[in-house]
């Protein structure tokens, strides 16, 4: 809520207090309360009232007393009765206002006016406030017994009091209405400020008049920078194919034209030029004649939903491709071997059986990785942490690699002393294996790797470098996500489901470390990961 709104509601409250106080004084009262009518018209359960010369606690006694007494109605709008002395004492008005034996004001000739010297009491008066629009509330006030107001002269027609009631009710009604409007304005302002969805409003010339904090977060623009600007120029909306959305497709203009615009998908630009998918709903505020006076756009960022959709379809195509290929090879070789009319020499037999075994291993690895990925997603990884000598582990993995692929040249840069780290040996071996497999897979021309290790104050860092195809800067941000395969031709001709780096990152982060890539397209990549040194290790609770 803005400062001016606070001021506004304070002013309105003062206005009601002044109206109530003036009315009570005009009616010859010393204190009182105006209670706004609620549905049950129960003054005690009403939370909306305005006090005059009474405190909250004394008012409770007065209202409790009145509740048990006769109530005014539109037929008999003023009810007066004498207050018990004990209540007068509780209200705390007797001493300050009038001495018990003070003389009453005189209205000569007015029947019912107490005789001189008899005034020692107070009266409560309840006035039924209503107008043509209905009941507004009750004005209860306390006055010295016999202190008549000018609206009660018997020679005046009954209309005088009714006229007063109508005027007072009209003044109070308009103040209450303004108060209700300010409350509504505050409620809407809170929704506008707190909403998670971007909300912006425009005038009929499509210039921005409101821009909520969610919009600021979404676009990077500050409200003060965009107010008064043409909203098209700020958001630069395009359709999903990248074509500019012309004015005829503008959600606001369509809403102005009476069309129902709900969840229209488009792409908008942030301040830094980044584009993202949004779903837009448009509506307008109309004048009394129904003509649009301003338009409202609610904008929901659906980039994440889009990514998930894309991930799902990538998953299906990658997995089906990765499953179908080995299955087809296994089936092909198996049916060849099963032919009764074919005879194979031992070497041909062995090579086919080897191929079947390799493809079965590939299938096994893929299924293993899929299970691994879903375990990570479901709730973290169980670790078996112990001090680990990284250079020893690296040497073991490299030795195995060279037995399997003797043509790969591996250069090792391991310093003579490296601190131990706290890690799960099998999992870190998996990370190393993934990085080495990738370095070979994505370096079709130069099968040369470099593995190095170094220690910093807190961590030990392992780096695997290749002189392969490299990864563009833009794609470097994606490769640690699930099922992300980048790099076009070479990648699509190599096996893989885009899970290795995702799993590696989960493992390294579960150790409290980091994994990252530095790469130049067509020159090669260096993947590095860090693990906390044994003496510094802390193991975070990782929730994926
Ligand atoms: P996979 O290799 O099974 O596709 P990864 O998660 O291991 O999955 O790698 C994700 C993607 O990152 C790869 O598809 C490839 O495009 C890219 N990538 C990974 N390592 C390298 C590398 N050393 N050189 C070039 N690109 C790489």
**CA nearest ligand 1 atom 12, residue:** 479
For residue 438 and ligand 1, the question of a CB distance below 6 A is answered with yes
- Asked if residue 450 has its Cβ within 6 Å of ligand 1, the reply is no
What pTM did the predictor assign? 0.53
Atom of ligand 1 nearest to the CA of 480: 6
pLDDT at 48: 80
pLDDT per residue, tens digit, the chain (544 aa), is: 444 556 666 676 788 889 999 999 999 999 999 998 865 445 455 568 889 999 988 998 999 999 899 999 988 899 999 998 888 888 887 654 444 444 444 434 344 444 444 435 899 999 999 888 888 899 999 999 888 888 876 655 566 888 899 899 999 888 888 888 888 889 999 999 999 999 999 999 999 999 999 999 999 999 999 999 999 999 999 988 888 887 778 899 999 998 989 999 999 999 988 888 999 999 999 998 888 999 999 999 998 888 788 777 777 777 787 788 889 989 998 998 888 887 888 888 898 899 899 889 888 888 888 888 777 777 666 788 889 999 999 999 999 998 988 889 999 999 988 899 989 998 999 999 999 999 999 988 888 999 999 999 889 999 999 999 999 887 888 899 877 777 766 666 777 778 889 889 988 988 889 999 999 988 999 999 999 987 665 554 443 3
Cα(514)–Cα(511) distance, integer angstroms:
9
Q: How far is ligand 1, taken at its centre, from the CA of residue 94, in Å? A: 90
- Looking at ligand 1, which residue's alpha carbon is closest to its atom 7? 500
Q: Which residues contact 220 (CB under 8 A, 6 or more apart)?
A: 270, 271, 272
Would you say the CB of residue 185 lies under 6 angstroms from ligand 1? Answer: no
- Of 327, 348, 326, 328, the C-alpha closest to 337 is 348
d(CA 450, CA 468): 12
**Residue 485 Cβ < 6 Å to ligand 1:** yes
Cα(32) to centroid of ligand 1, in Å? 80
**Ligand 1 site-directed mutation target among 318, 479, 521, most atoms within 8 Å of CB:** 479
Eight-class DSSP state of 238: B
Cα(291)–Cα(274) distance, integer angstroms: 36
Tokens 């409790």 locate to 64
- Tell whether ligand 1 has an atom less than 6 A from the beta carbon of residue 370: no
Which residues are bridge partners to 423 per DSSP?
A: 386
pLDDT number for residue 5: 57
Q: Check residue 158 and give its pLDDT.
A: 64
3-state secondary structure of 472: coil
Strand partners, 453: 462
């Amino acid at each position: 809520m803005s400062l001016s709104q606070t001021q506004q509601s304070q002013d309105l409250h003062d206005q009601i207090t002044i109206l109530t106080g003036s009315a009570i004084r005009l009616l010859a009262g010393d204190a009182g309360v105006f209670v706004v009518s609620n549905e049950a018209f129960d003054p005690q359960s009403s939370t909306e009232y305005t006090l005059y010369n009474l405190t909250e606690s004394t008012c409770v006694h007065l209202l409790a007393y009145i509740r048990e007494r006769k109530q005014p109605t539109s037929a008999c709008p003023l009810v007066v009765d004498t207050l018990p002395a004990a209540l007068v004492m509780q209200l705390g008005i007797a001493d300050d206002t009038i001495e018990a034996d003070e003389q009453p004001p005189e209205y000569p000739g007015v029947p019912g006016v107490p005789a001189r010297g008899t005034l020692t009491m107070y009266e409560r008066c309840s006035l039924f406030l209503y107008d043509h629009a209905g009941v507004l509330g009750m004005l209860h006030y306390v006055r010295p017994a016999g202190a008549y107001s000018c609206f009660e002269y018997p020679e005046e027609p009954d209309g005088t009091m009714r006229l007063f009631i109508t005027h007072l009710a009209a003044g109070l009604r308009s103040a209450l209405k303004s108060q209700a409007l300010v409350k509504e304005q505050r409620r809407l302002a809170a929704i506008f400020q707190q909403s998670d969805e971007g909300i912006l409003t425009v005038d009929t010339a499509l210039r921005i008049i409101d821009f909520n904090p969610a919009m600021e977060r979404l676009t990077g623009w500050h409200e003060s920078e965009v107010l008064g600007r043409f909203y098209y120029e700020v958001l630069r909306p395009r359709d999903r194919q990248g074509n500019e959305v012309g004015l005829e497709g503008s959600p606001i203009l369509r809403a102005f034209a009476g069309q129902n615009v709900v969840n229209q998908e488009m792409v908008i630009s942030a301040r830094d030029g980044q584009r993202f998918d949004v779903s837009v709903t448009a509506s307008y505020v109309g004048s009394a004649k129904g003509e649009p006076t301003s338009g409202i756009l609610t904008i929901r960022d659906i980039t994440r939903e889009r990514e998930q959709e894309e991930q799902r379809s990538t998953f299906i195509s990658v997995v089906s491709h990765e499953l179908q290929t080995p299955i087809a090879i296994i089936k092909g070789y198996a049916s060849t071997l099963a032919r009764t009319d074919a005879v194979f020499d031992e070497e041909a037999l062995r090579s086919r059986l080897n191929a079947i075994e390799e493809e079965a291993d590939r299938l096994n690895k893929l299924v293993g990785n899929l299970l691994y990925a879903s375990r990570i997603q479901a709730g973290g990884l169980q670790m078996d942490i112990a001090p680990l000598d990284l250079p020893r582990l690296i040497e073991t993995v490299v030795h195995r690699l060279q037995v399997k692929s003797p043509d790969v040249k591996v250069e090792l840069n391991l310093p003579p002393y490296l601190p131990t780290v706290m890690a799960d040996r099998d999992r870190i071996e998996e990370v190393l294996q993934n990085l080495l497999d990738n370095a070979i897979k994505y370096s079709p021309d130069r099968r040369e790797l470099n593995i190095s290790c170094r220690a910093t104050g807190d961590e030990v860092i392992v780096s695997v470098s290749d002189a392969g195809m490299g990864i563009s800067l833009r794609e470097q941000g994606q490769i640690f996500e699930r099922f992300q395969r980048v790099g076009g031709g070479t990648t699509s001709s190599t096996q893989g489901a885009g899970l290795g780096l995702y799993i590696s990152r989960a493992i390294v982060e579960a150790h409290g470390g980091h994994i990252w890539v530095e790469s130049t397209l067509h020159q090669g990549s260096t993947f590095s990961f860090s693990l906390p040194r044994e003496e510094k290790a802390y193991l975070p609770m990782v929730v994926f």
